[in-house]
Amino acid sequence: MKRLRLALLALGGAGLAALLVAACLDLPGFGGRSHPYGTRAVHASLTRRAANTIASVNFDQRAYDTLGEMSILFAAVLGCVVLLRQARDEHRAQPQPAEVARPVRRYALIVLPVALVTGLYVIAHGQLSPGGGFQGGVVAATALHLLYLGADYRALERIRPLAVYETSDALAVSSYLVLGLAGVLAGTAFLANTLLPYGTFNTLSSGGTVPLLNAAIGIEVASAVVVLLANFLDQAVEIEEEHGS
């Protein structure tokens, strides 16, 4: 049985290696000047007046793919919430406030607002400069958790009413869908970027629906990461198994 499995693994590995080598031999040279897809994507984003071509690809040309990715994140976080919930044989113990080294506290409390504003900036300028809803959302959400390093868990819980983040996660997902359906109602297609005026190139409101979809993703990702980390932190810090069981 073991030999059969090894043979199967060797066969699969050899096939994968052969295909990869064949694919690599057909690749265009490293750092060449011809980028057929890149040229077309840049052209399409310029006609919609979106300065960041990546944002244009994510939220306009391939907005449907982004809908899929957003659903994956939403489903994954939902799964974590269900798995990590407080079970019947567990109880919550109030974590004791711990001593925080003075430099750690100072550094964390100075960096927290800077990181939070950086995250919000990256979300807001997604259609103009590198970054966008996903990157900025993760930065903003992890920035909040510097309060756990700088103070303690109860301080973090106070600025993080979990129900609010769970609700805004769901609302952001729905608003992405509603923005997509608005295109259908307006007579074009699902998630088609024909609804809003394209605006002036390289301003915050340029690009039609791109900034709106970007903001929806930003809120969704930030809330999802906060909810995810909250469930992991609860398990690591608060929830304990009953000793008798």
Judged by DSSP in three states, 28 sits in coil
**Least Å distance between CB 139 and another protein?**
5
Cβ contacts of 67 within 8 Å, gap of 6 or more: 176, 177, 180, 191
Closer CB to another protein, residue 14 or residue 83? Answer: 83
Paired tokens of 241: 């198994």
**Least Å distance between CB 197 and another protein?**
25
**Least Å distance between CB 206 and another protein?**
18
**Least Å distance between CB 236 and another protein?**
4
Judged by DSSP in three states, 189 sits in coil
Element (H, E) at 241: strand 239-241
Residues that bind another protein (CB under 8 A): 31, 52, 54, 122, 130-132, 134-135, 138-139, 142, 145, 225, 228-229, 232-233, 235-236, 240-241, 243
Antiparallel, parallel or unpaired: β 239-241 and 90-92: antiparallel
DSSP label at residue 152: -
Closer CB to another protein, residue 201 or residue 232? Answer: 232
Closer CB to another protein, residue 140 or residue 212? Answer: 140
Q: What angle do CA 104, 150, 99 make, to 5 degrees?
A: 80
Closer CB to another protein, residue 124 or residue 225? Answer: 225
